[in-house]
Amino acid sequence: MRCRKWQRVWVFIGVAMLCSLVILVALSEQPDTPVTLQDQHRQTAVMPVSVRVVEPESYPAIIKSFGEVVPQWQTTIRAEVGGSIRFLSDNLRVGNRVKQGELLVQLEKSEFEMHVAEAKSRLAAAKVALLTEQREAKQAQKDWQHANINRQPDSPLVLRTPQLKAAEADVKAAQSALKRAEVLLHYTKVVAPFDGVITQRKVSLGDTLNGGFNGGEVATLYNLDVAEVAVQLDQSQWALLPEPQAQQAVRLYTPQRDAQWPAEIVRKSFHLDSESRLRTLFIRVQRPLAQTPALLPGTFVEVEIVGRNIDNLIEIPEPALTKQGMVWFVDNQNRLQPRRVKPVFYGEGVVYLHTPSGIDTPIRVAQSPNARFVSGLSVSPKTIVGEGQ
């Protein structure tokens, strides 16, 4: 029994040793670094990349900015003289249109009429005094001549010359006083200085106004025959503007691009803004309320100006430009080549760049760069055909 037991042990040990030898031989025939099926796929697979083929061309520059629509003229209407309001126009309401010269407010005028009457009386008295003095001066001249005195009188008072000049000055002063009194009487009528729309009313019937710049506010008036938009441009944008700029066509858009209006450049500033350090360009819109839709004051608009033509530009999709200012090109060996670029200007969903040097032709641009892009990485380009081709 004991002998048979040891036979089984030795058989088991022999079989184990044989199996170990077979395993060692098999492992010695395997490569040093095992490669799985997944690794083999990674070694043979190439990243597909959508590319757009572009060509250098001449493009008109597009300058974009933003601004607020304001009326060409806006003013706060004030009463020049003080007094209680005796008449208030029914048209003096927010939103109503008024015509130039239209009566808006009539102030109490009896005191001013009295001043006019007094000024007329003083003028009439001054004229009588002047006529009297003229007659007396002529008589004094005749008396001097009849005296046969061969010299000038010792004093100009003899010939009444100073008296005559004083009477003439009194007439001129009375005339000026009358004119001033009539002007003040005219100021009791507060009228619209130009055609416009009432945007704010500040008085009611029965109010008493204090005349002058610091008081007597009646209403705020906007002229809406012409509207303007002031846009600030940096130095690079100014370099893209055409020459001359005056009357250059411009388009205004809402930020949502659901409405647009024609406009034109009318003038430019000759100084830099003290805060932004930018230069201002002024855009004019004729008859803004007659546009479709009406262009109202206070509207925030996007301004688009067509500038001068620029040669040797490429047009790429906006997503092709990364936030870091990089554009990825694909060379003739289908490898990624990054370039840091500076956009010349932007279009609708596209970016215009100066053609980078050292780029293979045809120029192929990766349309949608991602985090896996590495310089020199081999890719499988797929040409996208669409706008810009």
Is the pLDDT assigned to residue 357 strictly greater than 70? yes
For 73-108, the DSSP string reads EEEEEE-SS-EEEEEE-TT-STT-EE-TT-EEEEE-
Q: How many helices (H) and strands (E) does the chain have?
A: 5, 19
Q: Is the pLDDT of residue 346 over 50?
A: yes
Quick one: pLDDT at residue 14? Answer: 60
pLDDT digits (tens, 9 = 90+) for 181-203: 999 999 999 999 999 999 999 99
- Answer whether residue 263 shows pLDDT above 60: yes
Residue 25: pLDDT over 90: no
Q: How far apart are the first and last CA of the chain?
A: 94
Residue pair 294/237 in contact by the 8 Å Cβ criterion? no
Share of the chain above pLDDT 70, in %: 87
pLDDT at 41 over 50: no
Say whether 292 sits in a helix, a strand or coil: coil
> What confidence tier does 40 reach under pLDDT thresholds 50, 70, 90?
very low
4, containing H or E segment: helix 2-28
Tell me which of 128 and 13 has the higher pLDDT: 128
Write down the pLDDT at residue 8: 60
When mean pLDDT is compared across 64-73, 246-255, 289-298, 332-341, the lowest value belongs to 246-255
Predicted local confidence at residue 29, as pLDDT: 45
b/e burial code for range 5-36 (CB count within 10 A of at least 16 → b): eeeeeeeeeeeeeeeeeeeeeeeeeeeeeeee
Q: Phi and psi dihedrals of 5, rounded to 5?
A: -65, -45
**Strand intervals (E) in the chain:** 47-54, 57-78, 83-88, 97-98, 103-107, 189-191, 196-201, 208-209, 217-233, 249-253, 260-272, 279-286, 300-317, 326-330, 336-340, 345-346, 350-354, 363-366, 379-383
For residue 293, is the peptide bond before it cis, meaning its omega torsion is within 30 degrees of 0? yes
CA distance 263 to 286: 7
User: Which structure tokens are listed for 187?
Assistant: 């100021």
Q: What is the pLDDT of residue 370?
A: 92
Residue 388 predicted with pLDDT over 80: no
Helix, strand, or coil here: 156?
coil
